[in-house]
Amino acid sequence: MKKTLSFSAVAVAFALAAPAWADVSLLNVSYDVMRDFYKDYNPAFQKAYKARTGETVTIQQSHGGSSKQALSVVNGLEADVITMNQASDIDLLADKGLVPANWQTRLANRSAPFTSVTVFIVRKGNPKGVRDWNDLVKPGVQVIIPNPKTTGNGRYTYLAAWGFSKTQPGGSDARARDYVARLFRNVPVLDAGGRAATTTFMQRQIGDVLVTFENEAEMIAREFGRGSFELVYPSATVLVEPPVSVVDKVVDKKGSRKVAEEYLKYLWSPEGQTIAAQNYLRPQDKAVAQKFNGQFPPVKTFTVEGVFGSWRAAMKTHFADGGVFDQIYTKK
Amino acid sequence: MSSANPASLRTTTESRPVRYALTALALAFVVLFLVIPLVSVFWEAFSKGWGLYREALVEPEALSAIRLTLLTALIAVPFNVVFGVAAAWAIARFEFRGKSLLTTLIDLPFSVSPVVAGMMYVLLFGINTPVGAWLDANGFKVIFAVPGIVLATVFVTFPFVARELIPLMQAQGADEEQAALVLGASGWQTFRRVTLPNIKWGLLYGVILTNARAMGEFGAVSVVSGHIRGETNTIPLHVEILYNEYNFVGAFASASILALLALVTLAAKTFVEWRMTRQHAAARTRTAEARAAA
């Protein structure tokens, strides 16, 4: 009797847990800080797709640390599309044969529908007078940066600092290495994620400068109030290009290629670009960028590929075990 | 010196200030590390009012997380009850080769970190492994789906029932069961009429512990879940996601549901513990009486 009860309870629970039926469903595997953007973008795409084809699309989101998410897809998480914050995470999928090696050239702008830049967030009134990268290595300045070994945010910051130093007059790899080593000597904690670093800076009030993405600065403003900090744009910084791709192996198996491709293409539509701009991601579309230009001060930027050759090379030299980051961080 | 000094009847010899100081220290510790964090969960959850709290919980993703958590517990608990009783019975009642190995194996989930437990399943069922490839080819989803979450939960809650029952059954001894068998009861009858009533409270205690852990497990489940919102997020995973989204009210509202489940579990556990103490005492008296009679 008892058994029958528990079995029927299980059956009921299963029935309840079954997802709602829909024409097509897509799983977008993404990283932590993209939640807010896709929360706005998904309904817009669903509406546009329904209007055009009459089909209803269900979109499921999965969020987590960028590299962890890419690994999950390698291990069988059935992502139709993957939206990461750096190309090396999708390169990993290419290495495992889930996407073709030329995935980055299949969409415009090297598959990055929008960009961002790495900026400084300082305490109100900028008490330490932080204006540029060189101010971060001054004695007594504490800088909050998430761990470059585990987070895209931290890697972009590291590469931005390196690139800044290298592109200065008289700059070289040796000088850049020395500069980055001095920078990380001013980092009191290496948080494991971008959001964790924000929490350390804003809630635990540790550090004088938080180096993070421009769009994250907007999230902080929305959550903690605009008066609670100041934003500083350095003289030059890295261009953050978060790439997207269809996961070929999954869409071919599920038969969802068409809608998955539409889903990504729509990111470049005026509506997709506007939603990006509303979330403080710099749009690629010139007209939309023009409309929001008050929001995005012009900054001199360099790309990861421009300074380091490719993401693969940067990962191998700097972030692999025993790479440059390990060398300078352990020599602290 | 009077021999009737009441102080000499006390079990402690420390002076009054020392005793009070120690008690105050212990209480302060409890308040600081248990009561304040617990209260702060509810405080934060209700910080923006009852309406937002309710909204955070009836949101489809929160509901789905609650449903998945209950479903997981609903499968993991009965599974581990059956296994735990069988294992405890075998270990407490029989002598066999490899018994100590079995005992050690049952304890394995206690010594393995939950994250490692989750990774074991990814390594076993991941699509790049032979098992995973076969499952995928036949349309079964294990990891990054509900079965994987249930498997990971079953693994981390494996020892609770057996660990609870083995000492109890060893203390009770096999006398009553032997008597039942001698009087002609079948194995099943003996189990149902003699063994089960004897271990009832211990079993319930094990179930409560299993349930608490099944609902609260984070590490192992996080690795195998895939974090698909509205589908493979349990309450603990949902809490983490909301927290990372700066949705503190939502995060703490969901956390308060977990805390409430924990409090209910705790109340049940206290009641069962109280019953068990009585039962243990009764078992000891019975054994002593039987020995005296013999």
In chain A, the percentage of residues whose pLDDT exceeds 70 is 92
Looking at residue A101, its pLDDT comes to 94
At A17, the pLDDT band (50, 70, 90 cuts) reads very low
Q: Chain B residues with CB inside 8 Å of A61's CB?
A: 228-229
Residue at A54: amino acid letter: G
Looking at residue A21, its pLDDT comes to 42
Looking at residue B290, its pLDDT comes to 76
Domains and CATH numbers, chain A: 21-113+242-291 (3.40.190.10), 116-240+299-330 (3.40.190.10)
Taking an 8 Å cut-off on Cβ atoms, the answer to whether A75 and B229 are in contact is: no
* pLDDT at position A331 over 70: no
* pLDDT at position A174 over 70: yes
* pLDDT at position B116 over 60: yes
Report residue A117: phi and psi, to 5°.
-135, 155
Quote the minimal CA–CA distance from A6 to chain B in Å.
8
Looking at residue B9, its pLDDT comes to 55
Of the candidates B71, B78, B228, the beta carbon closest to that of A6 is on: B78
Of the candidates B136, B228, B231, the beta carbon closest to that of A76 is on: B136
At A15, the pLDDT band (50, 70, 90 cuts) reads very low
* pLDDT at position B251 over 70: yes
Taking an 8 Å cut-off on Cβ atoms, the answer to whether B226 and A10 are in contact is: no
Average pLDDT over residues B35-46: 89
Cβ–Cβ contact A192 with B under 8 A = no
State the pTM of this model: 0.79
Per mean pLDDT, which range of A24-28, A221-225, A297-301 is the poorest? A221-225
Q: Chain B residues with CB inside 8 Å of A14's CB?
A: 71
Tell which of B142, B144, B241 to mutate to test the A interface (max A CBs under 10 Å). Answer: B144
User: Distance between CA A27 and CA A60 in Å, rounded?
Assistant: 5
Question: DSSP 3-state assignment of A59?
Answer: strand
Quote the minimal CA–CA distance from B129 to chain A in Å.
9
pLDDT tens by residue, A39-76: 999 999 999 999 999 999 999 999 887 778 898 999 98
Looking at residue B51, its pLDDT comes to 87
User: Distance between CA B233 and CA A219 in Å, rounded?
Assistant: 24
Question: Is the model more confident about B166 or about A17?
Answer: B166
Average pLDDT over residues A181-193: 90
Q: What is the DSSP string of A111-144?
A: G-SEEEEEEEEEETT-TT---SGGGGGSTT--EE
Looking at residue B5, its pLDDT comes to 52
Give the residues across from A212 on adjacent strands. A119
Q: Are strands A81-83 and A244-246 parallel, antiparallel or unpaired?
A: antiparallel
The CATH homologous superfamily for domain B51-175+182-293 is MetI-like (1.10.3720.10)
Residue at A37: amino acid letter: F
- Minimal CA–CA distance to A80: which of A245, A215, A325, A211? A245
| Most confident stretch, A29-38, A245-254, B222-231 | A245-254
Per mean pLDDT, which range of A136-140, B22-26, B128-132, B262-266 is the poorest? B262-266
* pLDDT at position A96 over 60: yes
Cβ–Cβ < 8 Å for A116, A282: yes
In chain B, the percentage of residues whose pLDDT exceeds 90 is 40
Beta-carbon contacts of A207 under 8 Å, excluding residues fewer than 6 positions away, are A142, A143, A144, A188, A200, A201
Looking at residue B294, its pLDDT comes to 67
For residue B139 the two structure tokens come to: 């349309």
Looking at residue B10, its pLDDT comes to 59
* pLDDT at position A318 over 90: yes
Q: Chain A residues with CB inside 8 Å of B219's CB?
A: none
In chain A, the percentage of residues whose pLDDT exceeds 90 is 69
Quote the minimal CA–CA distance from B5 to chain A in Å.
56
Looking at residue B237, its pLDDT comes to 92
At A133, the pLDDT band (50, 70, 90 cuts) reads very high
At B11, the pLDDT band (50, 70, 90 cuts) reads low
Looking at residue B287, its pLDDT comes to 75
Question: Is the model more confident about A311 or about B13?
Answer: A311
Average pLDDT over residues A245-273: 95
Q: What share of chain A is helix, strand, coil (3-state, %, to 5)?
A: 50, 15, 30
Beta-carbon contacts of B15 under 8 Å, excluding residues fewer than 6 positions away, are none
Question: DSSP 3-state assignment of A190?
Answer: strand
User: Distance between CA A274 and CA A270 in Å, rounded?
Assistant: 6
Average pLDDT, chain B: 87
User: Distance between CA B135 and CA B129 in Å, rounded?
Assistant: 10
Looking at residue B74, its pLDDT comes to 93
* Assembly ipTM: 0.72
DSSP state of B142: -
Looking at residue B3, its pLDDT comes to 46
Q: Chain B residues with CB inside 8 Å of A36's CB?
A: 245
* Domain boundary assignment for chain B: 51-175+182-293
